[in-house]
Amino acid sequence: DGCIKAVGQADVIRNQFSEATFERIIDCSGKCVLPGLVDAHTHPVWAGDRVHEFAMKLAGASYMEIHQAGGGIHFTVEHTRKATEDELFTAFQQRLGRMLRAGSTLVECKSGYGLNLETELKMLRVIERARKSMDIGISSTYCGAHAVPKGKTATEATDDIINNHLPKLKELKLSGEINVNNIDVFCEKGVFDVESTRRILQAGKDIGLQINFHGDELHPMKSAELGAELGARAISHLEEISDEGIVAMARAKCAAVLLPTTAYMLRLKQPQARKMLEEGVIVALGSDFNPNAYCFSMPMVMHLACVNMKMSMNEALAAATINAAYALGKSDTHGSLEVGKQGDLLIINASRWEHLIYQFGGHEALINYVIVKGKVIYENERCETMSSY
């Protein structure tokens, strides 16, 4: 059934299964077995890269300056609206394949580059298609409130989402056409204010979606306090979280999805991972893969979390497995090696698991096998011919 049957000492398991036959036995001598990694925040469905904007950022342009000049999200929206569903699906499939080879077995995937009902649904259909046809696990997020569409005010965009987008999503969810798990809003100064964010998130919650949104990234907005109050499952970014917000999230058991790639790329101040951990917040990690932060690799995200956010390697591994699964409402089935959980695991070509974090960008020669639901879905030939050192 694709679930883990036993975990423990080799001799105990050998005795327990001495009569059993297996279709395959993998020799892991000198290797490590880890839970499959969970990427708790990605924007992987889009057309039109933004490599030209990277040069602008390096020359000193801020995120909001690029956004206001028609770049950023608006640039991607324009290209995504023009792309066909098949074009988007092909690119998405390739990106998921790269995530899988970097060890991610469960990925949160957002819409949000449509900003109109037609394109948002096109993106959600692409995500649904991958969920049904690919081995990788997917948690689907409706993020229609990713930016205010051109020609609309934030209030008009909010009304459109509540009156048109969400009823249609509810209908498609009930008919089984599209399975959406989470609702997301970019709560930010000059985007969606706290009141608009509250209205959209509450309306999403009312149709059975988990609240999992962008907050306190560029300006302190009291998003953390809002999320705790609404019973949010998770809030992402949080570079500008208040001390009160940290306490509120810890109390509400609301996960903080920290994105070290974004703070690194945009040269923002780092999220306060240490303070959050000390206050008892459930800290998770995500790659924030999108045209602005082009990173598929959770091992690199863990490395950045350790170096830039001062997390220990143990904390980073927990944040990229069990806590990231919790942020998606899936920690009862994913994120750790326990009997009864889904058999998603990695086999690492090193005698210490820490190599996965220590070797920055080294995952391509370290990840020997990726296993989902007990089936080997990626086998890395290079590991057989080389030691990891």
* 214-257 pLDDT tens trace: 999 999 999 999 999 999 999 999 999 999 999 999 999 999 99
**Mean pLDDT of the chain, nearest integer:** 96
The answer to whether 173 and 206 have CB atoms below 8 angstroms apart is no
What span, in angstroms and rounded, lies between the C-alpha atoms of 244 and 363?
Answer: 38
List, for residues 139-164, the tens digit of each pLDDT value.
999 999 999 999 999 999 999 999 99
Q: What separation, in Å, do the N-terminal and C-terminal C-alpha atoms of the chain show?
A: 36
List, for residues 78-90, the tens digit of each pLDDT value.
999 999 999 999 9
Q: What share of the chain has pLDDT > 70, as a percent?
A: 98
The owner of tokens 């890269």 is: 49
Query: Under DSSP, is residue 243 helix (H, G, I), strand (E, B) or coil?
Result: helix
List, for residues 32-67, the tens digit of each pLDDT value.
999 999 999 999 999 999 998 988 889 999 888 888
What secondary structure letter does DSSP report for 130?
A: H
pLDDT for 69 equals: 82
What does the domain layout of the chain look like in residue ranges? Answer: 3-32+342-379, 35-47+83-328
The token pair that represents 359 in the structure block: 């070797």
CATH fold of 35-47+83-328: TIM Barrel (3.20.20)
Residue 291: name the closest of 59, 68, 70, 73 by CA: 73
Q: How many residues make up the chain in this entry? A: 389
CA torsion 241-242-247-251 (nearest 10°) is: -50
